[in-house]
């Protein structure tokens, strides 16, 4: 059987995988703090006898686009966005530490600060518990201040400071739950100088035009691969014809 058929089949299959990456990016164009994934094809040469023509393609997601999404003004005190570089540290239900840029925070029934997906928000020394409060304020450096219930505005109490980190961009990978973790699995130490903006949330950083174009381009590439498969079929038919003539 002709090798071309298998090569173009593998390419078509990998294009479908890449299509899934871009479709996921587009589906998450409205997910706050979402970071778009890249997809690229890698040449996977199979060594052996004959011409070095067996180079299969493999799709991989080499990295995630870590650029900041647009900031959306909400006016809610517990919405925090990170201005510039940096990440907000949260604790997953299994106790491991992860990082996110989506700071739509909530207070649960016990007064503990959580993200909208239910992960605990980490402060200087673990989760942040707030006393019954009238208003809660988050400062530019992540300082959490409350006006306790029954106190006036002159008696603000500083509770904790959000754990803000600034890892090396290459050190973070996206986990299966969409939160980011360090590739080596270690917790990142808090970093000074990460600033947050209260009353704002970060949107998805997906560039919809870019994703749409990629999807259309991949669809055309897919068609090319199928044409190649058709050509391989025609070649086979022609070969069979020759045999019949002889």
Partner 1 sequence: MMSALWVSKTGLAAQDTALRAISNNLANVSTVGYKRDRAVFRDLLYQIQEQPGGLSSQDTTLPSGLQLGTGVEIGATQKVFTKGDLQATSQPLDLAIDGRGFFQVAMPDGSLTYTRDGQFQLSEEGEIVTAEGYRLEPAVNIPADAQSITIGADGTVTVMLPGDNGVTQVGDIQLADFINPAGLQAIGGNLFRETPASGAPLTGTPGNNGLGGLLQGNLENSNVNVVEEMVNMVSTQRAYEMNSRVVSTADQMLQFVTQNL
Buried b (16+ CB within 10 A) or exposed e, 178-204: ebbbbeeeebbebeeebebbbebbbbb
Cα angle, residue 127 at apex, residues 175 and 191 outer, rounded to 5°: 70
Does residue 185 bind partner 1 (CB under 8 A)? Answer: no
Query: x/- contact string, 187-216, with partner 1 (CB under 8 A)?
Result: -----------------x---x--xx--xx
Q: Are strands 103-107 and 113-115 parallel, antiparallel or unpaired?
A: antiparallel
Give 121's strand partners.
Answer: 90
Is 66 near partner 1 (CB under 8 A)?
Answer: no
Shortest distance, position 177 Cβ to partner 1, whole Å: 6
Q: What is the C-alpha to C-alpha distance for residues 87 and 235, in angstroms, rounded to an integer?
A: 56
d(CA 160, CA 164): 12
Beta carbon of residue 48, minimum distance to partner 1 (angstroms, whole number): 17
Stretch of residues binding partner 1 (CB under 8 A), selected from 56-64, 82-90, 160-168, 187-195 = 56-64
Q: Kindly state the smallest distance separating residue 37's Cβ from partner 1, in Å.
A: 7
Q: How far is the CB of 198 from partner 1 (least distance, A)?
A: 13
Check residue 157 for interaction with partner 1 (CB under 8 A).
no
Bridge partners (DSSP) of residue 202 are 71
Chain-centroid distance of CA 49 in Å reads 42
Separation CA 23–CA 31 (nearest Å) = 14
Phi/psi of residue 132, nearest 5 degrees:
-55, 125
> Which range in 87-95, 110-118, 163-171, 236-244 contacts partner 1 by CB under 8 A?
110-118
Contact with partner 1 (CB under 8 A) among 27, 186, 238, 240: 27
- Quote the least distance from Cβ 124 to partner 1, whole Å: 22
The answer to whether the CB of 101 falls within 8 A of the CB of 117 is no
**With CB under 8 A, what is the number of residues at the site for partner 1?**
65
Q: Which is nearer to partner 1, 44 or 240 (CB)?
A: 44
Give min distance, CB of 133 to partner 1, in A.
7
Question: Do the beta carbons of residue 199 and residue 68 sit within 8 Å?
Answer: no
Tokens of 163: 């754990």
**Closest separation between CB of residue 239 and partner 1, Å?**
19
Whether the Cβ atoms of residue 146 and residue 160 lie closer than 8 Å to each other: no
- Measured from the CB atom, is 95 or 150 closer to partner 1? 150
Q: Using CB under 8 A, list all residues that contact partner 1.
A: 16-17, 19-32, 34, 37, 58-63, 74-76, 104, 106-111, 116-117, 132-134, 147-151, 173-178, 183, 204, 208, 211-212, 215-216, 219, 222-223, 226-227, 229-230, 233
């Amino acid at each position: 059987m002709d090798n071309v058929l298998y090569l173009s089949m593998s390419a078509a299959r990998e294009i479908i995988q890449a299509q899934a990456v871009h479709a996921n990016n587009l589906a998450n164009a409205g997910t706050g703090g979402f970071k778009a994934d890249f997809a690229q094809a890698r040449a996977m040469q199979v060594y052996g006898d004959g011409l070095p023509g067996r180079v299969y393609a493999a799709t991989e997601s080499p990295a995630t686009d870590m650029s900041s999404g647009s900031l959306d003004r909400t006016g809610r005190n517990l919405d925090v966005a990170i201005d510039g570089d940096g990440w907000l540290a949260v604790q997953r239900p299994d106790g491991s530490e992860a990082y996110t840029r989506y700071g739509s925070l909530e207070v649960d029934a016990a007064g503990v600060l959580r993200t909208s997906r239910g992960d605990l928000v980490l402060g200087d020394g673990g989760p942040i518990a707030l006393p019954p409060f009238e208003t809660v304020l988050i400062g530019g450096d992540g300082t959490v201040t409350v006006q306790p219930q029954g106190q006036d505005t002159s008696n603000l109490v500083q509770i904790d400071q959000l754990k803000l980190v600034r890892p090396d961009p290459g050190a973070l990978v996206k986990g299966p739950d969409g939160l980011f973790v360090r590739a080596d699995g270690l917790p990142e130490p808090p970093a000074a100088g990460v600033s947050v903006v209260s009353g704002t949330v970060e949107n998805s950083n997906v560039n919809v035009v870019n994703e749409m174009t990629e999807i259309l381009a991949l669809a055309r590439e897919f068609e090319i691969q199928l044409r190649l498969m058709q050509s391989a079929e025609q070649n086979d038919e022609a070969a069979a014809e020759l045999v019949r003539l002889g």
